[in-house]
A and B are shown apart, each in its own frame.
Chain A
C-alpha cells in the first residue's frame, strides 16, 4: 500500500508539472499577445518606436518576456559610479545620446558593454533607430531605443516558476545591517496566552502562533507562492489575494507591546501576529513596539475570497448529501410509484436545463416571494446573503446524488444477499437501512473528497449572478483581463485539488470497503 501510494503521488506530481507546462505553453506561446492592447488607450495614443517600446514594457508586465532597456542599464551603471546626481554628469549624457545616431552608436563603450553583458546572458539586442523626415525633423514617436529582450521557453519558465514555489523564512531575510541580534526561539505570547515561535531577522516576527480563528494554529515559516497577479491585483501574490479578509475594517481593543501591563489600549484593526520588519519605524511606532517589527496587516470584517466560497460550497454540499441520499433511497424503495416519478421529474429538469436557468429561477423566487437579498453586497443581514447562492449550488448536487443513489440501490436490490436477508426474515426497513443502503453508499464515497475540496474553487455562474466576492470567477476574469499570473496560479491550484481529491477518494473507498484493493496485491484487478 505504501509503495503504491508513493508511486501514485510521484505520478501525480509529474502530471501536475505537465499540466502547468501545457497551460504555460497555451497562455504564453499560443495566445495572441496583441489582444492585451485592444482596450489600451495609451497604446492607441502612441506610435512608431514609442509604441514598440511600450509594447515590450507591457509584455514584460504580463510576463511574456524579460527585457532591459539601455537607459535603465546606464542609470544603474552611473548611479554606482557617481551617486545620486549621475544624471547631470557629462559621461552619462554622452552615453545616453549615443544611440540617437544610427550610424555610429555601436562604437560607444557603454553600448558595447550593454550588448556584451546581455548577449552573454541569452538576451537578444534590438535597436529601434530614430526616424526622420527628409527635412531632418523627427517623426512623431521616433525616439531611439536600445533594448535587450529574452523570452523563456516553456521548460525554463516552468523552472523559474518552481524555483519560487515554496520558500522558507530564515534569520537572514532582513537585509538591514543595523539588526544584529538574529534568532528563532520559543517565547511566551501575551496575545494568545500560549507559547509562540518568534524570530528576529525573519520576514515575519511570529513564525508559529496560536489564535482564536480557524485553524487556530498558524505559521509564517513556509510560504507557497502560486504566482503573482500582473494586472488585476497589481503585483500581489495570488495566495495572499484569495486568503486575505475583505470588507470594512474590524476594529478591536488592542494593547501594543509597550502598553501591556498598563490599562491603555487602542481601537485598531491591526493583526498583531502579522508583524513584519520595518527598517525605519515612525516615532509613534517606536512608542508602541520594543523592536523594529512594526508593520502589520489589517483585519477586515468579511471572510476572504476563498473563505466565502468555501462556506457557501460546504453548506451546499452538506444540504445535498443530507437531502439527496435519503431522497434517492426513498425513490428506490418506491420504484415506479409517485415518489419515484416526482423525483425523476426533478432529476430530468436539473440535468437537462442550463444551470443559468434554474439559478435565475431561484433568484427570482427568492427575491419576489421571500424578499431575500439578490445581490450579495446589498444584504442588510450578512447571513441572509448566503441563502440563495447556497440553494442554487445545492440543487444540481441533490439531483445527481438522488440519481446515483437510486441507481445503485436498485442494482443492489436484486442481489443474492438481499434475498438471503429476506429469507432470514429481516424486516424490509432493516434490509434497506442496514444492508442495501450501506452497500450502495460505497459507490458514492469516492466522490465525497472531490465535492468538499471542490468548494475551494468556487462556482462560476452562481457567484456571478449573486455578485458573491468569492474565488469562482478568478479564472474567468483573469482570462478576460489577460492576467497570466492568475491563470497559472488557478491551474496549479485546481489541478492540485483535483488530483488530491481523487487520491483521497480512493483511500476513503478502501477504508469503507475492505474488499477493494488499490495496489493489485489482493482482489481481482488486472
Chain B
C-alpha cells in the first residue's frame, strides 16, 4: 500500500521521471488483434447449449454417415416373408432370434429394419438438405446481389419473379419429376431449379437497402468498381442475414422432402428417405406407432438442432454481439 502521507512529502522530481522514447515500439499500433470469424466462434461457444447441440449433431452425423457402412440397409430385405411385416420391437426380436440392435425399433411395412432404415434415410435427408441449401444459397446470393444493385436487372427479374412465384410449387416439382425422373440428383434439380428465386428476392431487398447507404455512395464517388462494392461493402454487412437464412433453409429441405414424399411425389422407392418411411408408416400410425414416430422424431431432432445452431451462429455473426 502506498501511503498518502509519504507521497505528499515527496517533491515533483521524486514523483516523476523520464523514461525516454522507444523508437521501435512507437512504430507499432498496439490494439487487440481482431479476427472476425474468431470472434464469431468465441461468442458462439460461450453458450453451453451450442456445445451440447454440436455433440448431438456429431452423433447424428456419425450414425448416419459412418454406421450405415457397417450396417447396410435394404428396404426389401424381408419382402417375401409376410410374417415380418409391421412387428413391434419385441416381436421383431423374438422372430429374428434374440436381442439385436438391428430390430431395436421393430420392423416396417415390408419387414425392413426401422433402426437401420432411419440411419440410411437420415444420410440421404442430410445430403439432400446440404446440397440443395448450398446450391440455392449460392445462386440466390449471387443473383440477389446483381438483382439488387442493377435497376435494369431489377425490372426484368421482378416480372420473372412475379410469374414463377405464382406457379404452384408442387406442380412444378411434379412435372419435373415426370420429365426427368425421381432419383436423388433429379430431386435436387427439381428443388433447386426455382428454389433460389425467393432467396434472391429476399437478398435483392437487403442489397437495395444497403446500396444507398452513405458509405457505399462514398465508395462509388471514389471510383470503386461495382463488383468490389458488392463484394466488400455490401455482402460482409449481410453475413448475419445470410447465416439466419441458412438456419431456416437447411431444415426446410428436410421438411420439404417429408412433405413431398407424404403426398406421393418424393424420391423413388430405392432411395431410402425419412419422408418415405414416414408416409409408409402413417396409414397405421395408431396401430404401429413406433414405425411412424421413430423417423418423425429423428427428422424433428435434425431440423431442430440445425435450426437452433444456425440461429445461434447468426446471432454470433452479428459484430454488435462481439463486445
Contacts and interface: CB of A to CB of B under 8 A. Distances in A.
Interface string A477-504: 0011000000100110011001100000
Contacts of A495: 166-167
B303 A353 contact: yes
Contact of B265 (A19, A22, A348, A479): A479
Interface stretch (A24-32, A198-206, A211-219): A24-32
Interface of B: 159, 162-163, 165-168, 170-172, 174-175, 178-179, 248, 251, 254-255, 258-259, 262-265, 278, 282, 285-286, 289, 292, 296, 299-300, 303-304, 306-308, 311
A97 to B, nearest CB: 41
B299 A354 contact: yes
B17 to A, nearest CB: 51
21 contacts: A15-B159, A15-B162, A23-B167, A30-B179, A31-B179, A35-B178, A352-B255, A352-B300, A354-B254, A355-B259, A356-B262, A356-B278, A356-B296, A374-B286, A461-B259, A464-B262, A475-B170, A476-B170, A476-B264, A476-B265, A494-B168
Q: Sorted from nearest, which 4 A-B pairs have the closest CB atoms?
A: A352-B307, A354-B255, A352-B303, A354-B258
A360 B171 contact: no
Interface in A7-28: 15-16, 18-19, 22-23, 26-27
A352 B259 contact: no
A357 interface: yes
B80 to A, nearest CB: 24
B178 A487 contact: no
B304 A31 contact: no
A26 B167 CA distance: 10
Contact of B307 (A19, A351, A461, A487): A351
A367 interface: yes
B83 to A, nearest CB: 27
Contacts of B159: 15
B141 to A, nearest CB: 22
Contacts of B167: 19, 22-23, 26, 491, 495
A352 B311 CA distance: 11
Q: How would you classify the secondary structure of chain B's contact residues: helix, strand, loop or mixed? A: helix
A30 B262 contact: no
A518 interface: no
B200 to A, nearest CB: 18
Given A19-B163, A32-B178, A464 B248 contact: no
Nearest to A367: B286
B296 A354 contact: yes
Contacts of A460: 170, 259, 263
Interface in A342-390: 348-349, 351-357, 360, 364, 367, 374
B252 to A, nearest CB: 9
Given A23-B171, A30-B175, A473-B263, 5 more contacts: A15-B159, A31-B175, A354-B303, A356-B258, A374-B286
A145 B31 CA distance: 90
Contacts of B165: 498
Interface residues of A, number: 41
A360 B282 contact: yes
B304 A22 contact: no
Interface centre among A351, A352, A498 (most CB of B within 10 A): A352
Nearest to B181: A32
B298 to A, nearest CB: 10
A476 B173 CA distance: 11
Interface in A242-289: none
A465 B311 CA distance: 31
Contact of A461 (B166, B178, B262, B265): B262
Contact of A354 (B170, B172, B300): B300
A491 B171 CA distance: 9
A300 B258 CA distance: 37
B167 to A, nearest CB: 6
A479 B174 contact: yes
Given A354-B299, A360-B296, A19 B263 contact: no
A398 B254 CA distance: 22
Nearest to B212: A526
Contacts of B278: 356
B166 A32 contact: no
A349 B311 CA distance: 13
A353 B178 contact: no
Nearest to B310: A352
A287 B164 CA distance: 57
Contacts of A461: 259, 262-263
Nearest to B161: A15
A460 B171 CA distance: 13
Contacts of A22: 163, 167
B299 A32 contact: no
A204 to B, nearest CB: 32
Given A360-B285, A490-B168, A18 B163 contact: yes
Contacts of A480: 264-265
Given A15-B163, A353-B303, A495-B166, A360 B292 contact: yes
Contacts of A364: 285-286, 289
Contact of A353 (B262, B285, B300): B300
Contacts of A476: 170, 263-265
Contacts of B263: 460-461, 464, 473, 476
Contacts of A475: 168, 170-171
B271 to A, nearest CB: 18
Interface centre among B166, B286, B289, B307 (most CB of A within 10 A): B166
